[in-house]
Amino acid sequence: MSHPVNADSTSRSTIKKISTIIFAVIAVICIGSASFFSVQSASGGTDVRSNMTLVAPAAAGGGWDTFQRELQQSLQTNDLVSNVQVINVPGAGGTIAIGNVASLPDANNLMVGGTGQIAAQIQFGTESQLQDVLPVAKVLEEYDIVVVPADSPYETMDELVEAWREDPSGTPWTGGGSFDQLVITETALESDISPSEMTYIPSDGGGEAIQALLNGTAEASAGGFADMYPQVESGRLRVLGVVAEERLEGVDDIPTLAEQGYDVTLTNWRALFAPPSATEEEIAELAQVVDEAVVTPEWEATVEQNYWREAPLQGEELDDYIAEETERIAGLFEEMGQ
């Protein structure tokens, strides 16, 4: 007796297989990166105070790249490390870089990573996993805000959710990436709306998401604070809430979703990871370097400029946090049917 085939399941399986092939091709192209790291280390020594490579698992210009270049500035300006270079290893949602760093023999390499890589490894079943590298220190968190066009009829989160409940598919949302979609999914669940019934319009970055709002393609969006808030300040968008556990300093007139009755607190966190070849002593030394960097005037200024919030975490607490976040994000992807 034959069984009916679930079209959605077949489609998702096909997409995952295609994605795996694409990622494999990218991995072959990028495989020289690990060798390059080794050459760089050999040329300046492998002591973390003498020579360090900061790995950004994406192309120049994005959040991971900004983080590493600001960290580089802090380390060099304050003579915390003699020589610091930033290497960009884009591809596969940041998981190509994980594979490269996992193969490095020296500890003086720090990759920034976090929520985005966990999302990519779950969504696409990538071979490289964040668990393949060693957590050194969680440094900060970035937050999404929920926004609507300035002329939207929705002036509060409750008004938006009420309309969304009445017509889940007819109240389209957008976001600039997989993290934003996760936030929207969690918001739907907290609003008693099935994620399978909602309409989500993916955008390629915050700029495209803003245009989708302004041209009427989407009615609401969850997006990164640094992308969206300038549009709120200019009067083009209206903010209904921030996705954080408490109000943010400097913009404390924006209520959290949690205090409005929607327990949505997923953060786009940033942590630093070392190769698995690093010893406990080397991990401790790397953590000390990070501790010194994040109290410099240069780093404090960039935290304020980018609307970041310091959220330090190390050791077993960080290990537990990553495990909990991985389970949480996997659950959201299941709700999304992926």
Give the pLDDT band of residue 10 (cuts 50, 70, 90). Answer: very low
Q: Is the pLDDT of residue 5 over 60?
A: no
Q: Is the pLDDT of residue 9 over 50?
A: no
Q: Please give the pLDDT value at position 265.
A: 94
8 Å CB contact between 264 and 186: yes
| Percent with pLDDT over 70 in the chain | 87
Q: Give the pLDDT mean for 29-39.
A: 46
Q: Can you tell me the distance from the alpha carbon of 280 to that of 111, in angstroms, rounded to the nearest whole number?
A: 17
**What does the angle CA 63 – CA 68 – CA 72 come to, to the nearest 5 degrees?**
150
Q: Is the pLDDT of residue 41 over 80?
A: no
CB-based contacts of 179, cutoff 8 Å, min separation 6: 115, 116, 119, 144, 266, 268
8 Å CB contact between 135 and 322: yes
Q: Please give the pLDDT value at position 178.
A: 86
Q: Give the pLDDT mean for 163-184.
A: 95
Predicted confidence (pLDDT) per residue in 182-239, tens digit: 999 999 999 999 999 999 999 988 999 999 999 999 999 999 999 999 999 999 999 9
Strand partners, 109: 53
Q: Is the pLDDT of residue 120 over 80?
A: yes
Q: Give the pLDDT mean for 102-131.
A: 95
Name residue 311's amino acid. Answer: A
In the Cβ-directed half-sphere of 108, how many Cα atoms lie within 13 Å? Answer: 22
| Prediction pTM value | 0.85
The residue that leads in pLDDT, 132 or 26, is 132
Predicted confidence (pLDDT) per residue in 271-298, tens digit: 999 999 999 999 999 999 999 999 999 9
Give the pLDDT band of residue 44 (cuts 50, 70, 90). Answer: low
Q: Can you tell me the distance from the alpha carbon of 68 to that of 61, in angstroms, rounded to the nearest whole number?
A: 11
Q: Give the pLDDT mean for 97-107.
A: 96
Mean pLDDT of the chain: 89
Dig out the tokens for 157 from the structure. Answer: 């989160």
Q: Please give the pLDDT value at position 37.
A: 52
How would you list the strands of the sheet with 220-224, edge to edge? Answer: 200-202, 173-175, 220-224, 144-149, 237-242
Q: Identify the CA nearest to 193 among candidates 212, 174, 211, 167.
A: 167
Q: Give the pLDDT mean for 2-15.
A: 44
- CB atoms under 10 Å from CB of 24, counted, come to 13
Strand partners, 162: none
Give the pLDDT band of residue 43 (cuts 50, 70, 90). Answer: low
Q: Can you tell me the distance from the alpha carbon of 45 to that of 320, in angstroms, rounded to the nearest whole number?
A: 33
Q: Can you tell me the distance from the alpha carbon of 8 to that of 11, in angstroms, rounded to the nearest whole number?
A: 5
* Distance, C-alpha 75 to centroid of its chain: 23
Task: State the angle between helix axes of 7-30 and 115-124 in degrees (0 to 180), rounded to the nearest 10.
Answer: 120
| Percent with pLDDT over 90 in the chain | 79
